[in-house]
Structure 1
Amino acid sequence: MNDDTDVRHATTLTRRDSLLGLGGIAAAALGAGGVLAALDGDDAEAASSGPAAVASGLVTCVLTPEMTEGPYYLDGDKLRRDIREGRPGTRLDLATTVVDVSTCKPIKGAAVDIWHCDAGGTYSGFAQEGTDGDTFMRGIQRTTKTGLATFVTVYPGWYSGRTVHIHVQVSLGGNVLHTGQLFFPEQLTDAVYRRAPYNRRPSRDTRNATDSIFRNGGSKSMLKLAKTKTGYAARITMGISRS
C-alpha cells in the first residue's frame, strides 16, 4: 500500500465550482460539561457560535497547518453526511467548524471534503486497493452559517507507514483554501483497536510520534473526542486563511 508521502500533483483550484447547496443536516456541538452532543437545527448553530463558543474553545483563531493531500484524493466526492456505506467499524460523528483565521468569524458555505481508509486500512476508489469504483469513507458537506459541517463515519483503521488520520480539504467559491489531516489521541486509538474489527490487524507499525507528517504540525490538528452511546464524537475548529 502506498505511503501518503507519495504526493500526487496538485489538482485544479476550480474543482469545486459545481457544488450546490445542501439541505438541513444534524449538527454536532459542544454540550454542557464539555461533552460533545448531537443537536439539530438552531440549537446546534447557537451552541457552535458566539462568545460562549469562543470562551469554550470551540471557536478559535489559530491557523490550521497545511499538510500533504496524499495519493488517495479523488475528485467528485458525493455531497453527503453519512459516508460509511455499510462498512464495519466503530461509529465516529465528526464535527468540523471552519473559521476565518484573521477575524475568528465562521465561514458559511465552504465545502468540507473528507476521506480516509476504512477499519481495515483500505481506501476506496483505487484499483491497487481492490476498490476501483467504490466510494466509501468519502464525502463533502457545506458549512452552515456558524461554519459547521458534520459527518457520520467510522474510526479509521491503519496501514503501514502512517499513523491514524483523516484527510480534509476546505474549498470556497471553487478555490481550495486548506488541505490538511486530522489526528487521534494514541490512548483512545489503542482502546478502539482492542475491539473488532480492528483487533484482526494487531501491531500497527506507526504512531503519532513516529509519523513524518504528524511531526510537521499534527499536534495542532488533533481531534477532541468524547464517548457516545453509539461510538465516539470528534470535533475540531479549523482556522483558515481566505487570502
Structure 2
Amino acid sequence: MADPQTPPRSRREFLAALAASPFVTLGAGVFPSPLRAEAAAAGLIGANACILTPESTAGPYYIDPGLIRRDITEDRAGVAMQLRLQVVTADCQPVEGARVDVWHCDAAGNYSGFARQGSDRRVSTKDRTFLRGTQFTEGGGVAVFDTIYPGWYRGRTTHVHYRVFLEETTVLTGQIFFPDALSAYLFQSVPPYNDRTAQRDTVNASDGIARQAGETAYAAIREQPGFYDAALVVGIAPEARPQGARFGGMRPPAG
C-alpha cells in the first residue's frame, strides 16, 4: 500500500520510472494494471514511453503522397486495427499540431508506391497509396489511423513505420513493433494472412532494427469488438532536430 505521506510522482518522474520498469523489458505492451492506471492519470494512452534519439531507421519505402486521412486501408484486406500514436515531450506534455506520417506493408508483405514488392519481388504497386497517410495530433497529442494489422516480408519482423514532424523539421523517424504471439496466431489462422505458403523467417528477437529500437517501441495491444487497438507513446527528446524531409506545405486542416 502506498504511503499516504508520499507525494504523487511528477510526469517526468513517472516517465523515468516507467522507462526503468522491468515490465518494459517484456515488450509487446505487457504492463500491470496499476502501471496502466498511473499512465492514464498522467495523460498517456499507453504504459510505455520512449525518449527517442534524432536518428532512427526509416526503411526504404517512405513517400509522401500528401494524403491527410485517418482511414488508410483503401482496398487492403486484413484484420482491422486502430493505431494511436501520442506525441509528447520529454516530461510527458502532449504536443498538439504535430504531423504524423505512417506507412506499412499489407497482409502479403507489399508496400504501396513501389515496384518489386513482396518477398518474391514480383509485385508492382507504383500507382497505389494504400496503408499510407498523415494525421495531425490533437489537444492530447494523439493522432489516430484506421488500418489493418501489418503482414511480413522476408528479413523483417512485423512493424509499422512512422515519422513525426514538429514545426518545419523532421524530428523523429521510427518503427512500431507488435507481439510475436499475436502475429503468429494471425499469420497461421486468419485469412488473408494464412493464404501465404511461405513461413516468416524473422521474429522480434532476430530483427536487428527491433533490437536497436528497444522494448518501448512495442505497441500496447487491446482486443476490441471487431478490431485491435494499438497504442504507442512517442516521447521526443528536446535536442531531436535532425535535418531531413519537411512539411511540404501541409498544415493541420482549418478548424
For the pair 1:213 / 2:202, whether they are aligned, the reply is no
1:72 and 2:68 correspond: no
Structure 1 residues 196, 146: CA separation in 2 closer, same or farther (over 3 Å shift)? same
Q: Offset at 1:126?
A: 0.6
- SS of equivalent residue, structure 2 residue 81: strand
CA contact (8 A) 1:119 1:156 kept: yes
Give the Cα–Cα distance (whole angstroms) in 2 for the partners of residues 82 and 55 of structure 1: 25
Shift of 1:57: 6.8
Q: Distance in 2 between matches of 1:116 and 1:156?
A: 6
Among 224, 227, 252, the alignment partner of 1:231 is: 227
Instruction: Check the 8 A contact 2:48/2:216 in 1, yes or no.
Output: no
Q: Aligned partner of 2:182: which letter?
A: L
Q: Name the CA shift for 1:80/1:242 in 2 (closer, same or farther; >3 Å).
A: farther
The 1-side partners of 2:184 and 2:128 are apart by 28
Q: Does 1:96 pair with 2:92? A: no
Per-residue CA deviations over 1:195-240 (Å, capped at 9, x if unaligned) read 1000012411100011111111231200010111112111010101
**Residue in 2 aligned with 1:137?**
131
Cα contact 1:61–1:99 (8 A) shared by 2: no
Decide whether aligned partners of structure 1 residues 60 and 88 sit closer, same or farther in structure 2, where only a CA change above 3 A counts: closer
User: Which residue in the other structure is 1:181 paired with?
Assistant: 175
Q: Distance in 2 between matches of 1:173 and 1:55?
A: 23
Question: CA 1:52–1:218 in structure 2 vs 1: closer, same or farther (change >3 Å)?
Answer: closer
Matches within 5 A, 1:153-192: 153-192=147-186
Any idea what SS the aligned residue of 1:126 has?
Answer: coil
Which residue number in structure 2 is paired with residue 63 of structure 1?
51
CA distance in 1 between counterparts of 2:47 and 2:229 reads: 17
Task: Give the letter aligned to residue 92 of structure 1.
Answer: M
- Classify 1:184/1:51 alpha carbon distance in 2 versus 1 (closer, same or farther; 3 Å): closer
RMSD: 2.3
Which among 94, 108, 131 is matched to residue 106 of structure 1?
Answer: 94
CA contact 1:64–1:221 (8 Å) conserved in 2: no
Give runs of aligned pairs for residues 191-202 of structure 1, distance below 5 A.
191-193=185-187, 194-201=189-196, 202=198
Larger radius of gyration: 2
Q: What is the percent sequence identity of the aligned residues?
A: 43
Structure 1 residues 95 and 178, CA, compared in 2 at 3 Å: closer, same or farther? Answer: same
Note the C-alpha offset of 1:61. Answer: 5.6
What CA distance in whole angstroms lies between the structure 1 residues aligned with 2:45 and 2:145? 20
Matched-pair contact (CA < 8 Å) for 1:119–1:158: yes
Unaligned runs of 5+ in 2: 1-31, 118-123, 240-255
Q: Do 1:113 and 1:141's aligned partners in 2 also have CA atoms closer than 8 Å?
A: yes
Write out the 4+ residue segments of structure 1 that deviate beyond 3 Å after TM superposition: 50-53, 55-62
Residues paired across the two proteins, number: 196
TM-score calculated relative to the size of structure 2: 0.71
Gaps of 5+ in 1: 1-32, 35-49
